[in-house]
């Protein structure tokens, strides 16, 4: 019996072959299982057998291919920092589509499994640190309740990977609703092949948006549906202070999952201009820019879909533009909803004035946080727990004025104080993947004396982000003062 019971049915590989290239995982010299997500394996119906870790490592490095797998590299293009490029999986392989017991279909992808026809000058490899980082942060996002790709395992390959230093190589097994991206459509648009575009539209609709099939204009309905899910997703990122860091169009998934954890990180001090990525010098992908960038990316999707929206170019442009313009309102609605939940402001109050006043109330709090360099996560949680120190309120009139108005608004709601607090706490995490904690855990896990324990401990804490865990105060704390500004690097 194989240690993982995959059930593959590879529909993407049956699409026209312009959309992918066959490739095989590189042989790993000495694969070693570093982390394995048993809960996820069980929920996928894999019946994991952990008794033979060597066999598991062979499977999850690509040394042994499971029955039914058909490894391919997917073709795509993308706008990277605003510039168009033909890309494709340069260091990833889609192993196949697995059918879960509940009928759900998921992509199983190796990341870091060696060169593909799309690798160009890259080596197709990934280093252990960045793969552990993706594992940790994607699982943390899942626990926060945010749509995301998952990580099933990270295997160290025993191969050296040359970056600025020599690093341990690794393969991450990524589970996603799919790997269809805005860039997949940009790739098809660049090839100017109407039948390929139709095939990809039909595939995407079947996979993620079956209701669009019945629409008068399925391509337009698809665009609108993707816009809606992205507006929701970005609002959810902003709820927890998540900065994706590299929102290129090839890193925007059509099904509305967070994908491609490279230079991402969580805010500590609230400042919408925060950008951690070392290569994002213009702060294109800063925290507060994420909605505008999402809309820009969606406009690239709209352009790619236009030939299928209407044969008349002017009409297609009109319809596409109208759909893109709606993103602003959609996002504003989701964002208001998210921030209301963070502040315990119910929306069933009968007073229309309260509804209208909520947006400025939220704005004023954010302005206060920015001016006081307050920690985003901690501030909201303290508000929900009623833990703002009395002396703070006594000495900061901006805060106390705001607090009085907030309390008055809460008093007009039908909820009890306990209900408000519970509602807030369900939306304001105690534990996020704090940059200094992530670094410490990765350093231990990739250092000369490999110690995975701090990583596993952090992962465990992040799996229950909304509930206080005993003796875990340190994981909730902002970074110690006086440290250098945090920087992230692309996981290449
Ligand atoms: P990313 O920044 O991870 O979204 O990757 C952007 C593009 O670069 C994708 O086409 C990747 O497949 C490719 N790429 C990233 N790292 C490597 C690598 N080490 N070898 C080959 N291709 C890579
Ligand atoms: Mg990418």
Q: Does the pLDDT of residue 492 top 90, yes or no?
A: no
Q: Which atom of ligand 1 is nearest to the CA of 125?
A: 19
Q: Does the pLDDT of residue 92 top 60, yes or no?
A: yes
- Which residue's alpha carbon is nearest to atom 8 within ligand 1? 90
pLDDT at 482: 82
Across the chain, mean pLDDT equals 96
Q: What does the alpha-carbon distance between residue 3 and residue 42 come to, in Å, rounded to a whole number?
A: 12
Q: Which atom of ligand 1 is nearest to the CA of 492?
A: 16
- 283 C-alpha vs ligand 2 centroid, how far in Å? 18
- Which residue's alpha carbon is nearest to atom 16 within ligand 1? 492
- 251 C-alpha vs ligand 2 centroid, how far in Å? 5
- 89 C-alpha vs ligand 1 centroid, how far in Å? 7
pLDDT at 450: 87
pLDDT at 449: 87
Region 140-160: what's the mean pLDDT? Answer: 98
What confidence category does residue 448 fall into, taking pLDDT thresholds of 50, 70 and 90?
confident
250 is catalytic: yes
R_g of the chain, CA atoms, integer Å:
23
pLDDT at 351: 63
Region 265-273: what's the mean pLDDT? Answer: 98
Contact 227, 329 (CB under 8 A): no
Residues counted in the chain: 492
pLDDT digits (tens, 9 = 90+) for 164-184: 999 999 999 999 999 999 999
Question: Is residue 89 in contact with ligand 1, taking CB distance under 6 Å?
Answer: yes
**How many other C-beta atoms lie within 10 A of the C-beta of residue 241?**
20
- 260 C-alpha vs ligand 2 centroid, how far in Å? 5
- 266 C-alpha vs ligand 2 centroid, how far in Å? 19
Q: Does the pLDDT of residue 10 top 90, yes or no?
A: yes
pLDDT at 313: 98
pLDDT digits (tens, 9 = 90+) for 13-41: 999 999 999 999 999 999 999 999 999 99
Q: Which atom of ligand 1 is nearest to the CA of 490?
A: 2
Question: Is residue 124 in contact with ligand 1, taking CB distance under 6 Å?
Answer: yes
Q: Which atom of ligand 1 is nearest to the CA of 92?
A: 12
Question: Is residue 90 in contact with ligand 1, taking CB distance under 6 Å?
Answer: yes
Pocket test for ligand 1, best of 81, 90, 252 (most atoms within 8 A of CB): 90
Question: Is residue 263 in contact with ligand 1, taking CB distance under 6 Å?
Answer: no
pLDDT digits (tens, 9 = 90+) for 41-74: 999 999 999 999 999 999 999 999 999 999 999 9
Among candidate residues 89, 107, 123, 250, the one labeled active-site is: 250
**How many other C-beta atoms lie within 10 A of the C-beta of residue 125?**
24
Q: Which ligand number lies closest to the CA of residue 119?
A: 1
């Amino acid at each position: 019996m194989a240690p993982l019971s995959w059930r593959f049915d590879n529909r993407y590989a049956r699409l026209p072959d312009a959309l992918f290239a066959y490739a095989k995982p590189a042989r790993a010299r000495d694969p070693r299982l570093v982390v394995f997500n048993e809960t996820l394996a069980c929920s996928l119906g894999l019946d994991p057998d952990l008794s033979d870790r060597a066999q598991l490592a062979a499977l999850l490095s690509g040394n042994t291919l499971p029955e039914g797998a058909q490894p391919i590299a997917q073709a795509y293009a993308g706008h990277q920092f605003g510039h168009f490029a033909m890309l494709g999986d340069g260091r990833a392989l889609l192993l196949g589509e697995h059918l879960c017991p509940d009928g759900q279909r998921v992509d199983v992808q190796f990341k870091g499994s060696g060169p593909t026809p799309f690798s160009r000058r890259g080596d197709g490899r990934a280093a252990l640190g960045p793969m552990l980082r993706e594992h940790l942060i994607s699982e943390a996002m899942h626990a926060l309740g945010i749509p995301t790709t998952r990580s099933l395992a990270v295997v160290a390959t025993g191969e050296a990977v040359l970056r600025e230093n020599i690093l341990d190589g690794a393969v991450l097994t990524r589970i996603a609703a799919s790997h269809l991206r805005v860039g997949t459509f940009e790739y098809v648009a660049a090839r100017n092949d109407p039948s390929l575009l139709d095939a990809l539209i039909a595939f995407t609709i079947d996979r993620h948006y079956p209701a669009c099939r019945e629409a008068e204009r399925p391509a337009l309905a698809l665009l609108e549906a993707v816009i809606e899910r992205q507006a929701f997703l970005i609002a959810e990122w902003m709820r927890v202070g998540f900065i994706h860091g590299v929102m290129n169009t090839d890193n925007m998934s059509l099904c509305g999952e967070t994908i491609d954890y490279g230079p991402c990180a969580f805010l500590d001090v609230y400042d919408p201009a925060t950008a951690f990525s070392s290569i994002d010098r213009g702060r294109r992908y800063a925290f507060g820019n994420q909605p505008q960038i999402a809309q820009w990316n969606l406009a690239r999707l709209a352009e790619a879909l236009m030939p299928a929206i209407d044969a008349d170019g002017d009409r297609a442009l009109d319809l596409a533009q109208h759909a893109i313009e709606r993103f602003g309102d959609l996002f504003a609605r989701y964002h208001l909803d998210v921030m209301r939940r963070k502040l315990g402001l119910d929306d069933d109050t009968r007073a229309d004035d309260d509804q209208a006043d909520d947006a400025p109330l939220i704005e004023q709090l954010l302005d206060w946080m920015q001016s006081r360099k307050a920690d985003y996560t901690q501030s909201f949680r303290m508000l929900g727990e009623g833990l703002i120190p009395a002396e703070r309120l006594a000495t900061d009139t901006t805060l106390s004025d705001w607090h009085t108005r907030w309390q008055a608004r809460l008093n007009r709601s039908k909820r009890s104080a306990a209900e408000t607090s519970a509602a807030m706490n369900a939306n304001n995490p105690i534990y996020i993947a704090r940059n200094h904690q992530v670094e410490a855990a990765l350093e231990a896990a990739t250092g000369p004396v490999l110690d995975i324990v701090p990583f596993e401990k952090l992962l465990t804490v992040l799996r229950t982000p909304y509930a206080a865990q005993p003796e875990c105060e340190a994981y909730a704390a902002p970074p110690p003062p006086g440290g250098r500004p945090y920087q992230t690097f692309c996981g290449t």
